[in-house]
Amino acid sequence: MMNEALESEERFREFACNGDVDSMTALLQTSRIDVNSQNKINGWSALHWASKRNNLAALSFLLDQGADINLKNTNGDLPVDLTSNEDIKKALGGTDSGNFKESNLPITPNYLANPPFPYIQPSYQSYPSSKYNMEHTAAAKQNQKDNSVMSQLPPSFVPDENEVVLKVRLANSDERDFIEVELDRTKLTYEALLSLMCKELTVERRLVRKIRKLPDTVVRKDKDVKRLCDFQELELVLTNKAISASSRQYSGSNPVTDGLKDEQILY
């Protein structure tokens, strides 16, 4: 349980580093996160990262959640010492417009060594007079994504409001194409999703290790399923045990020898 808590806090700091306010919000709703937790090696908190990356939206969200502006990392740096953004400096109580510190980390976190595609930041200009409107921002980003997908569809396409269309495939298989499946919106549960994917991909349930929402999120419970949107890409990740004949039929080859590789989960 302790390792799980530390992992969640590390993910929270990673989201702060990347400016991913939606993921920070979701993590706070599903896990017991200390927003002031600090890395055991470098002492950086989520607020240090938001300040360092000059991310006003992430920083404002953290302050609303009670982040401590007086925390110091192992080098003695306050969050205000790490920013070059004047608005962030003022929000953290700083007044000096001099050069900010270039804090050297004893290690380079994976999310800096291999940064994700630049995260699209929500517009946020009202700090500190009002709270961050999380629901509005999340809905706006989801609408933007849905509209982008829908713009690529033929004009004659009319989505069925009673079902969500998902793209599914078998992880680590030579067959990389997705197939589209429909899940009844009145049955947005983990069990319903798992049953549908197993049926469509002809995989035995006992061989399923987990469902992965691409690129790197594990679907674990009903709430995760309810957040899925149209054309979300999903994978069935199988165990490293013997593969059933039904899964071999789907891949069109022998997945034991050439379709499925031993999987190492690195999160």
Q: How high is the pLDDT of residue 125?
A: 40
Instruction: State phi, psi for 12 to the nearest 5 degrees.
Output: -60, -45
pLDDT at 220 over 60: yes
**236-248 pLDDT per residue, tens:** 999 875 344 334 4
What is residue 2's predicted lDDT score, i.e. its pLDDT?
A: 57
**Model confidence band, residue 267 (pLDDT cutoffs 50, 70, 90):** very low
Per residue in 106-143, pLDDT (tens digit) is: 445 554 544 444 444 444 343 443 344 444 444 445 44
pLDDT at 176: 87
> CA torsion 233→236→237→243, rounded to 10°?
-150
Tens-place pLDDT, residues 16-63: 999 999 999 999 998 888 999 999 999 999 999 999 999 999 999 999
Going from the N-terminus, what domains does the chain have, and what CATH number goes with each?
Answer: 2-135 (1.25.40.20), 159-259 (3.10.20.90)
Mean of pLDDT values over 3-14: 88
pLDDT above 70 (res 98)? no
Interval 148-194: pLDDT, tens: 544 554 544 455 678 899 999 998 888 889 999 999 988 899 999 99
What is the model's pLDDT at position 133? 43
pLDDT at residue 6, rounded to an integer = 86
Q: Count CB neighbours of 194 within 10 A.
A: 18
